[in-house]
Amino acid sequence: MPMVCVTDFEAQARELLSKSTWDFIEGGADEGFTRDDNIAAFKKIRLRPRYLKDVSHVDTRTTIQGAEISAPICIAPTGFHCLAWPDGEMSTARAAQAAGICYIASTYASCTLEDIVSTAPRGLRWFQLYVQLDRQLNKQLIQKVESLGFKALVVTVDVPKLGNRRHDVRNQLDLKTNLLLKDLRSPKERNAAPHLQMSPIDSSFCWSDLSWLQSITQLPIILKGILTKEDAELAVKHKVHGIIVSNHGGRQLDGVAASINALTEVVAAVKGKIEVYMDGGIRTGSDVLKALALGAKCVFLGRPVLWGLACKLSRCARCRRFLQDR
């Protein structure tokens, strides 16, 4: 049966993936209220259509940070794509290039940044940074992505500590002993360590530290995880280039606003001085329309991309065995 909407991919991915992998992708923090509210909030927004407009020729192209994309629908940073498909982020990058949209590669990508670039050399790529305790490691990562042609630095601000993801605790999920994150190792570890000891995120990173990041890169800096007027105003004050309104897919702090509900507050606060994007809960074209109408320049998709990876060539017996083993 053909898959005609995002939820069809969701249903098939759930059948294909192991329980622990599915729980990792789908899980939210604590009770999962914010995760679910991200989707429910869109359903409460009603459209006010205007008619007798010439729509015989529709052009979905737009620009983000000055670069053209084919549509205002891009790929959010999510880690560990190899959980869903053997080629992992390389397949994601190829798809983004083919679609003419932006792909934000995660700090916790399961493929090397070099492989991601080589497999889709013409794609528009941004890099998402979890600021590490080791400042030199941050600098090396940023210098690497600059040399590889990434066009923006997306700094995730809503993970000073990892969210309480109950499913992962129950499943005793231990990604660091199952996946090798090749871009988060020191030179010594690259030569010797069979598995990565995941570097801790710097929980002391604050607004005053943005100037240090700005001093070591010419890339535009975008803050991911802003939800309030106050933080949006501070982002403008600190001369960042954009904001992604996001609650981390409901995976961090349960009980915060749905992303679409926080969007209007952030858009009003920045007063057009910087671009505003959003992620979280987008499942239909109508959801995209609602986000754009409320001020988002572009939306980013997270979980649906992983569902698509899991469904890729799902009839292949070898691939099914791979997915079930994860």
Binding residues for glyoxylate: 165, 248, 251
Kindly give the pairing relationship between strand 62-64 and strand 67-69. antiparallel
As to burial, measured by CB atoms within 10 angstroms (0-12 exposed, 13-18 middle, 19+ buried), residue 320 is middle
Binding residues for FMN are 77-79, 106, 128, 130, 156, 224, 246, 279-283, 302-303
DSSP string, 39-99: HHHHHT-------S---SS----EEETTEEESSSEEE---S-GGGT-TTTHHHHHHHHHHH
Q: Strands, E, within 193-303: which ranges?
A: 221-226, 242-245, 275-279, 298-301
Binding residues are 77-79, 106, 128, 130, 156, 165, 224, 246, 248, 251, 279-283, 302-303
Q: What is the length of the chain? A: 326
Known catalytic residue: 248? yes
CB burial of 176-197 (b: ≥16 within 10 Å; e: otherwise) equals eeebbbbbbbeeeeeeeeeebe
Kindly list the catalytic residues.
248
